[in-house]
Structures are given as structure tokens and as C-alpha cells.
Amino acid sequence: MDELTTLEAQLRFHDERYYRQAEPEITDTQYDELRDRYHALCNERGLAPADRYGMTPGDDRTPGFTTVRHRLPMLSLEKAADGEDGSAEGKLAAWVERTRKLADLASTAPLALLVEPKIDGMSVSLTYRDGRLLQAVSRGDGISGDLITDQVRASGAVPLEVAVPAGGTFEVRGELYLPHARFKALNKSLVAAGTKPLINPRNGCAGLMKRKDASALEGLGISAFVYHVAWAEGLELPSSQQAVIAWLATLGFATNPHVTRHATAGDAAAACRAFGDERGGLTYDIDGMVIKIDDRRLHDRLGTTEHHPRWGLAWKFAPERKPTELRAITVQVGKSGKLTPVAELAPVVLAQTTVTRASLHNFAELERKDVRLGDIVLVEKAGEIIPQVVAVVLERRQPSAVAYARPIVCPECQTPVLTEDIFIFCPNPTCGAQVRERLRHFASRGAMDVQGLGEAAIDQLCTTRTLTSPAQLFALTAEDIAGLERKGDKSAHNLIAALASAKNRGLARVLIGLCLHHVGEKLAEDLAATCGSMAALLDLASRHQAGDPAPLAQLDAIDGVADTTARSVLDQLASPAVRQVIDDLTAAGVNMTAERKAVRNVAGVAGKTFVLTGTLPTLSRDQAEALITTAGGTCSGAVSKKTAYLVAGDEAGSKLAKAQSLGVKIIDEAALRALLDLGE
């Protein structure tokens, strides 16, 4: 595969893992290296910016959330990477000189810089009106983000009311984060429940804030630091960034106590390096420092580029990297059959732990870095948790170093592998490694949520009871469980009770547990709501295989489902292997129907399609959608000619303009209540 194509595929994959799944496989530094190499190659080939991948900031928007357009874009910051060569100091000095010229300042004119820790969390925009939190929005793609007001309110991370003059409205921006102590406590409880722990505090926080059930966030300890006021109306803000932070603190917001002001670039650089050396004592994660022009009056004069404001710079800390010998490469097989290379290393101490294994991500990345057996490689920890091989020390390569050949058969079951894009798969659904991973996933909290059935128990059951199918879990007896390591009579009976309870999770959870490609939480819920039962879904799959176009059209009609996704889901459901698993689950008594809410078919609502945008005065999006669907209407995430009503609240986004252009009737919450016959 061409290197440019490979790099683009890797960037797409890692963007999906980082922004939408909140489960990154590589560090920010490694991602930046991939991105820099991609753009360097684009420059060499003269590729126009419009034809390049990822010219806009990353996107953390998640299906199922209301999308809100930011009044002012939430842009990334230009970066200065730290290193032993002093390159960050040079970039900072050049940035200051460039800023002086853009602001038309003399070389002797004072230009104070504010330096603050760069919190490794989830960016959030908070709008307050008359002192009350009106809405909270994630960064999204920088232009629009997900409405997470309910989640932020439930988390307790920010004040819901602040003392500002009546009529005042402002938007403050900050970072939601999970403190170390809370992260460790949460992971301890997840492991005790047999659930996969969170990868790191940053991604744990991002995943928690995208939970649909906002009440689940209460008491988890999510916190926030705010650092910027994007705009204000009816309020007079201080003229310096330092004074704005002090003003925010007086209102009750948490602001970082380690903000310092410096007169020169050299002083600011020294402060960044000094703080980097001491960051291990913090109770939260940071991945660098942010340097801003303190005089806010210069911010408007300097303006922004398409990607970043000109008044700020991110100083990125260099991760701890250590050399060690690559002794061997083993291959892991995941639940989807994906083969992943893993480095077996001579022991090396990183972040106070001894590392002997590290991820190599995928075979395309292994080949791009030219990693060979016997090489001395540099290893670092992603988020100081997951060890990664990031580079080869080429000057120490020995003639005996051997390139690693891509596997042509699965190391577990010896089935010939398939290649898809940059990944290699084992296509055998009965492969032992896949069976173990799929069973772990089936029992996980996000799927069937079988309390007490963790990875260790699954591994032992696969060995001692030769489990091959999820249905066999429901045939286990207390005696089967009690014979496992660390499982006594009490825990055995508790697990049997948990399995019995899991039978009634419903169709959506079963669909998630089946590990179908493309089927995550949102699509599983949509399929369950559309079809109502597994039998109806299987009927669609059979008709699709027979050439009937109607099933494909029915799934295509689901908001956000592309034709390729619909086709893939139907093809998988039609496969004999998946059908057998479903038949076995049915025989085991697993409920595979969707809970149907009572519908009262309100005239004027029943059979109509509604789209919601903006923030409604009293109803959350989930509440409004529930009221519409129980009245016989349907809700969509996109405006089209089929849309009967656009329900518009405050800060309505681009959907409003599209509805106006199509002549769609636009109503507010009061009119919706009247249609639903709810009264005031």
C-alpha cells in the first residue's frame, strides 16, 4: 500500500479511537509524528490542502447527541514540542516575534505572557445567562459539538449559578477532567465488578461525559478548570487574561492555581520547563503548558487562522522514552479477528513500573517504522499507562536484526488471514482467541452486563468447560463456577443470579454483545426501536439475501446509517455462524425483543417526523424525543423534505437555516407542548 494512503488510513483510525471512542492506542506525540509525516509527504507531492485528510480539528461528536454550533469556533492551539534540543524555546521565541509584527508592536514594547498548565481532559463550552448555566457543549469538530448540559449538571463539575448582573450572558471555556484519586477508585470498582477498567483519566472522563444516563455521573468526582471567556454580552470584562481568570474565580469557578505571568519568552520557557519537572506531584494529568498573550485587547487584533488562534501557543511536554531490546514479536487476536503485533522486550522501567511488553499497533505501522527483531527500540507509555514502541534507534541496529514478516495464517487456529485496509484479520469465527474475546465482550457492562463474569473467569471457563458460544454461559451451574479460582459458593450463586438477570437485557444489548461490525450502542438501540425483535431483524436479513431491496431501504432510513453500514449489518445477520449463535441464545431463554413504550397516537403528531435543535427551556432532548415518540411521532437528527416540524430552542444551529430553506414548519417548545396536548 502507498505510504500516503497508509498514513491517511492510520490517521482516520486513530481519530476514531481518540475522538469518538475515547480509547486511544497511541500518545499525542506519536499522533503528531504521524500527522507531520503525512503533511510532509503531501507537500512533497504537491497535494492541495482541500485534498488532504484532516485539515480541520478532530471531532468528538457522538451519535445520539444534539449538535450545537459554537458561536465562536473552539480551535486547537499551535504547538511547540518540548525536547532536549531546545526546539520548543526556539519556536516560542519565533512565535513571540511573529506576534509582535502581527500586532504592530515595537521590539521594545512590553508583551506580557501568561503561562498555565494544559489540562489533559475534555474541552467544554459553558454558556451562562442571567447567572444560570444555559448549556454545555463539547468541542466536537471545533465548529459544532454535542449538547452535554444534563451530563455537566449531574457531574457537579461547574457551578450551576453565578453572581453576574441581570441580563448578562457569557461563554466560558474549560477542561473537564478526572482527578487521579477518583480515577483509581473508579477503576478499582470496575475491576471488582469484572468490567474492563478505563484506559486513562482523560479518556475515562470523555467516555463518562457521553453517557446517555446523566444521573450515573453523580458523585464520580469529575472536576473542571476554566480558563477563557470566549464572548460576553451585558458584562464588562477585564482587559487582561490574568484579570479574567481572577474574575472567574470570584464567581465560583475553579481556576488553576499555577497560572504565572512573565515579561519575556525566555522567562515563559523557563517556567514551562520548571513546571514540567514538577508535574508528577499534581493530582491530575497535564500534557503541557499553554502560553497566551496577557493583553486581551490584542486578541481581536491578532485574530485566528483556520486552525488556531494567533494569541496562544501550546508547549507540549516530551514523554519519557527509554531504549530497550526488542527480543520477539507475538501476535494477539481480538474479538473481531483483528491481528495485532506485540513487542516482547528486555525489561525497562517506565513511569515507575517495569515494562516487558508493548504495543506495535498494526503491521502497517510496524513496517513504516522498519521495526526488526533484535533492534534497540524507544518505548514510552501512552497516558503513562499503555507501553508503546515509538521508534527504532537505527544507529544501534545490528546486522543480525531481522525484519518481521506479516502472518499469513492466524497464530491461534492456523486459518489463512484476510487483509482489509491497514489491518489483518482471522476470518474463522470459531477461532479460540476470538471466542474468548467475544465472550468477554458479551458479558461486559456495555453489552449484557453480567456482574462478576470478568476476564479471568472467562479465560478459566474457556479452558475448563471449553466454552465456544455465549449461550453456553447461561447453561453454567453454581458447581461449574465454584470450581474456578477465587470463586467460592457465595460468589458462584451470585454469578448464576447475574446470568439469569442478564437474560432480560433486551434486544439492543444482545445486538451489542454479538460483536457485529459497525453495531455500537446507538445503532443497536436504533435497530431495536425500528424492528422490535430479533425475529424481525432476521427476516429482513433473509429478504435482503433473496434480493428484496426493501430491508436495505428500511435500515438506510435510520438516521446516520449509511448504505454500506446497512448492507454489512444485514449480511452479518444472514451468515450461518451468527444465526447459530442467535438460535442458541433463543434456546437458552434470552429475551431478544425491544421494550415497546405505549403510544397514544396524538393527532398532528402521529406519523410526523420531528427534528430538534438548540436548547429548549424546560425539556432535555431525550425528554422531548420520548414525548414525541410516545405520541406516535418519530425523531430524526437531520432536516429533510420529509421533516414535518423543526423544534427550535436557544442557540439553534445550522438545522434552523436548512429548515427555513426547505420550508419546514418551525416551532418552539410551547408549540410542541400544544401539539402534544400537554398544556403549559
Would you tell me how many other CB atoms lie within 10 Å of the CB of residue 603?
A: 10
Q: What is the rounded CA–CA span in Å between residue 110 and residue 101?
A: 13
Give the integer Cα–Cα distance in Å for 320 and 325.
17
Give me the sign of the Cα torsion angle 589, 590, 591, 593.
negative
> DSSP letter at 499?
H
Instruction: Say how far apart CA 51 and CA 69 lie, in whole Å.
Output: 25
Instruction: Give yes or no for a contact between 418 and 427, defined as CB atoms under 8 angstroms apart.
Output: yes
Torsion of CA 14, 19, 23, 24, to 10 degrees: 40
Distance between CA 591 and CA 208 in Å, rounded?
A: 28
Dihedral of the alpha carbons of 148, 151, 153, 159, in degrees to the nearest 10? -70
End-to-end CA distance of the chain: 62
* Coil, helix or strand at residue 353: strand
Task: Establish how many alpha carbons lie within 13 A of residue 239's alpha carbon, considering only the half-sphere containing its beta carbon.
Answer: 4
Pairing of strands 402-403, 260-262: unpaired
d(CA 137, CA 123) in angstroms, rounded, equals 9
How far, in Å, CA of 649 to CA of 129, rounded? 14
Question: DSSP class of residue 405?
Answer: P
Question: How are the residues of the chain apportioned to helix, strand and coil, as percentages rounded to the nearest 5?
Answer: 40, 20, 40
Q: Find where cell 522514552 sits.
A: 321
State how far the Cα of 476 lies from the Cα of 215, in Å rounded to an integer.
34
Can you tell me the distance from the alpha carbon of 580 to that of 338, in angstroms, rounded to the nearest whole number? 22
Whole-number Å distance between alpha carbons of 481 and 569: 34
Measured from the Cβ of residue 455, the count of other Cβ atoms closer than 10 Å reads 17
Q: Residues of 98-136 as b/e, b for ≥16 C-beta within 10 angstroms?
A: ebeeebeeeeeeebbbbbbbbbbbbbbbbbbbebebbbb
Q: Hey, what's the cell of 239?
A: 482587559
Q: Tell me the C-alpha distance between 8 and 12, whole Å.
A: 6
Question: Which backbone phi and psi does 390 adopt, to 5 degrees?
Answer: -110, -20
Q: Which three cell numbers stand for residue 353?
A: 513500573
Yes or no: say if 393 and 377 are a contact pair by the CB < 8 Å rule.
Answer: yes
Dihedral sign, Cα of residue 285, residue 289, residue 290, residue 292: positive
3-state SS record for 110-163: CCCEEEEEEECCEEEEEEEECCEEEEEEECCCCCEEEECHHHHHHHCCCCCECC
| Residue 655 is a catalytic residue | no
Q: How far apart are CA 326 and CA 346, in angstroms?
A: 7
Q: Which one of 91, 118, 608, 655 is the catalytic residue?
A: 118
- In this structure, which amino acid lies at residue 139? R
Q: How far is CA 654 from CA 71, 129, 137, 661, in A?
A: 11, 22, 15, 11
Q: What is the DSSP letter of 239?
A: S
Catalytic residue list:
118
